[in-house]
Amino acid sequence: MRTTIVRTEDIAVSCDQVNGWTVVEVDGEVDVRTHSRIREAAIALLGDGHRHFVLDLSFVPFLDSMGLGTVVAVTRLIRQYEGSLRITCPSARMLKVFQHGGLGDAYEFYDSSQDATCQAPTADGLAHWPGTCG
C-alpha cells in the first residue's frame, strides 16, 4: 500500500514496502526548491525503522546539483543505520547526471523498482559505497 509522505505543489514523495525494501518514489523536479523534502522523508522513514531503500527517480524530469547532493546526504544517513540503497533511474539523461557528478559507480542503478526489489536486501548493501559516515 503506497503512502504519501510529502505532497506540495512542486514535488510528491511516497513510499511502499516490497520484498523487504522501502521504495521511495519521487515525482517532480529535485532541485534547490525541493531537495530538502527528500531528506526530510528519509529521516522520517529511518526514524520509523526502515533501513533498506529503493529511491525511484522514474518520475523525476530534472535533478540539479543540490538534488544530487541530497542523494549523497541520504546515502550517508542510511549507511549510518547499516542500511542499503538502490536507485531506479530508467532515463539515460538522468543517469548521466550521476556519472558527471562522479557517482556513476557508487550506486546500484536499476531500470524499474520491480528490478530493484526482486532480491531481498542483504546486510552489506552500502559496504562498497565510498566515503565515510557522517
pLDDT at 133 exceeding the cut of 50 = no
Task: Name the one residue in this structure whose C-alpha cell is 542500511.
Answer: 83
**Tell me: the pLDDT tens digits for 63-106?**
999 999 999 999 999 999 989 999 999 889 889 999 998 998 88
- Using alpha carbons only, give the angle 52, 55, 56 rounded to the nearest 5 degrees: 135
Q: How confident is the model at residue 132 (pLDDT cuts 50, 70, 90)?
A: very low
- pLDDT of 127: 54
Please give the average per-residue pLDDT across 42-47, as a whole number.
95
Collapsing DSSP states into helix, strand and coil, what is residue 59? strand
Percent of the chain with pLDDT over 70: 91
CB 60 within 8 A of CB 94: yes
pTM: 0.89
**Rounded CA separation 38/49 (Å):** 17
